[in-house]
């Protein structure tokens, strides 16, 4: 054989062997990784080849699927739809063919599109049948959710309702909201640009993911620390609190919103009733930052892994403060921040005799036959404060609603306790303050109870009209009334 032909043959053989090796490596070793690659169009086509599984509220799906192949210029057969999308957006998140998925849609994407390994049927491997998707069952109470969303109205804010005993999240609302159906397809760029460019940030879940200064609602945490520490024996023990109070090592005076309120040496009950800054500023300074932070962390502050199962942003109680800053933290200012979920957890623990049940908004994830893939038990509790401390705080919170700054939260026939809050916003409080309210309600005849937190970031009201009782308490009242029905 000609030497040149022989060399050429060997070279061609090596190329064939290299090609076979590469094909084997791609099809065997790399097959799974390539199949799972987000840029693999076949994966996306398979994901939307059948209707997605649903997210369910009180037995009824709040999601659906719409046939799109051949009607919207796409090779994807189905797209996600939403029933009352704006109402439940803070719960479901969105599932978009172009922009991915968030919240429950994102966490349970594999269950909802049928690719979760737990959905496998042995026969499916033989018949190549696509697996039936699963279903996500939530803890949301539609009546409470509607009450929250409607009461928030056109305000920028958020609201959360929790069952104190079980930890079930009954409502999770954030406004302004959006309809996830608008961005669920492949050709929704205009809607996406509108939502992402909106200065009011409708895609932000304010209930879970926008910690803001909680103002005077944080005084409940400081009061709990003082009672547990023994700084004061009861909520009816007089405190040593000058009015006004000068912040430690400064000439800065901490005054009260109501100059005529009886805040000098007031008891904790009176101080909560009139929201006395001097009392809780001095109380925090007397306790010291370590003791206040320890109590805040028992309630859930500084927890960077709070999953419900959506990951909530951490509420923060800062460290490395001087005494003056510690005093300001005692009234929910300085660098203290909280989400509405966190402040609902504070009220829930107080309502539940000092026990905090882990908050969660999914009860079960099931396959197409209704068999459980995952269950989330109610009542996974830990003790935050003693039963005696919780009882005293409830009594003082009832005084706030019956005689103090929280009268707009009263629910006929129910025991209601609460705490208002107004937090400074902007440098030197130059912007409209935030309005807060956190509370609990119990129906003595049925045993039903609920804990609530409401945050109004902006209502459009004049600065002089902003207050926790005026803006946030009426929202909480409607939510509590709905929960107790």
> Which residues are known catalytic residues?
216
Q: Please tell me whether residue 363 adopts helix, strand or coil conformation.
A: strand
Task: Estimate the share of the chain in helix, then strand, then coil, as percent rounded to the nearest 5.
Answer: 40, 20, 40
Per-residue exposure over 456-485, b if at least 16 CB sit within 10 Å of its own CB, e if not = bbbbeeeeeebbbbbbbbebbbbbbbbbbe
Quote the CA–CA distance of 221 and 400 in Å, as a whole number: 16
Kindly provide the residue ranges of all beta strands, DSSP E only, lying in 247-396, ordered along the sequence.
253-254, 306-307, 311-312, 355-357, 362-366, 372-375, 381-383
Quote the CA–CA distance of 139 and 250 in Å, as a whole number: 49
Q: What is the per-residue DSSP string for 388-414?
A: HHHHHHHHHHHHHHHHSTTGGG--TTS
Q: What is the per-residue DSSP string for 89-125?
A: HHHH--EETTTEE-HHHHHTHHHHHT--GGG--HHHH
**Residue 277, CA distances (Å) to 215, 255, 282 in order:** 10, 7, 8
Quote the CA–CA distance of 441 and 439 in Å, as a whole number: 7
Q: Please tell me whether residue 152 adopts helix, strand or coil conformation.
A: helix
The answer to whether 407 and 468 are in contact (CB under 8 A) is no
**Residue 378, CA distances (Å) to 166, 357, 364 in order:** 5, 8, 11
Classify the C-alpha dihedral 253-256-257-261 as positive or negative: negative
Quote the CA–CA distance of 397 and 166 in Å, as a whole number: 22
How many other CB atoms sit within 10 Å of the CB of residue 130? 13
- 179: which 2 tokens? 């309809």
Q: Is 379 left (phi over 0), alpha (psi -120 to 50) or beta?
A: left
């Amino acid at each position: 054989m000609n030497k040149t032909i022989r060399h050429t043959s060997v070279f061609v053989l090596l190329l064939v062997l290299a090609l076979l090796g590469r094909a084997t490596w791609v099809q065997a070793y790399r097959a799974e990784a390539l199949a799972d690659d987000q840029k693999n169009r076949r994966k996306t086509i398979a994901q939307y080849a059948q209707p997605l599984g649903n997210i369910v509220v009180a037995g009824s799906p709040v999601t659906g699927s719409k046939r799109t192949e051949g009607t919207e210029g796409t090779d994807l057969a189905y797209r996600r739809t939403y029933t009352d999308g704006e109402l439940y957006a803070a719960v479901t998140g969105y599932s978009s063919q172009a922009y991915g998925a968030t919240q429950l849609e994102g966490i349970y994407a594999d269950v909802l599109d049928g690719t979760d390994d737990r959905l496998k049927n042995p026969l499916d491997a033989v018949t190549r049948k696509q697996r039936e998707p699963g279903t996500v069952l939530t803890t949301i109470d539609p009546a409470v959710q509607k009450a929250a969303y409607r009461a928030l109205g056109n305000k920028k804010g958020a609201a959360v309702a929790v069952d104190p005993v079980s930890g079930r999240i009954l409502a999770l609302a954030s406004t302004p909201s959006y309809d996830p159906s608008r961005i669920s397809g492949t050709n929704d760029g205009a809607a996406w640009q509108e939502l992402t460019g909106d200065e009011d940030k409708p895609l932000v879940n304010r209930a879970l993911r926008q910690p803001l200064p909680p103002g005077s609602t944080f005084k409940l945490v400081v009061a709990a620390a003082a009672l547990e520490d023994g700084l004061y024996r009861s909520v009816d023990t007089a405190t040593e609190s000058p009015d006004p109070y000068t912040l430690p090592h400064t000439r800065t005076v901490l005054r009260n919103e109501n100059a005529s309120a009886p805040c000098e040496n007031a008891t904790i009950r009176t101080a909560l009733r009139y929201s006395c800054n001097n009392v809780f500023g001095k109380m925090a300074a007397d306790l010291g930052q370590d003791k206040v932070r320890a109590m805040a962390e028992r309630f859930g502050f500084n927890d960077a892994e709070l999953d419900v199962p959506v990951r909530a942003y951490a509420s923060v109680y800062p460290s490395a403060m001087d005494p003056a800053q510690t005093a300001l933290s005692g009234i929910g200012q300085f660098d203290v921040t909280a989400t509405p979920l966190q402040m609902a957890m504070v009220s829930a623990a107080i309502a539940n005799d000092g026990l905090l049940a882990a908050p969660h908004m999914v009860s079960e994830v099931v396959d197409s036959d209704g068999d459980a893939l995952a269950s989330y038990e109610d009542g996974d509790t830990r003790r935050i404060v003693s039963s005696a401390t919780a009882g005293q705080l409830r009594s003082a919170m009832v005084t706030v609603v019956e005689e103090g700054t929280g009268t707009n939260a009263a629910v006929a026939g129910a025991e209601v306790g609460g705490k208002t809050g107004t937090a400074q916003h902007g440098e030197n409080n130059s912007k409209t303050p935030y309005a807060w309210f956190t509370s609990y309600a119990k129906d003595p005849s049925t045993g039903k109870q609920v804990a609530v937190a409401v945050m109004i970031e902006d209502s459009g009201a004049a600065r002089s009209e902003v207050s926790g009782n005026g803006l946030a308490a009426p929202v909480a009242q409607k939510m509590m009334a709905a929960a107790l029905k």
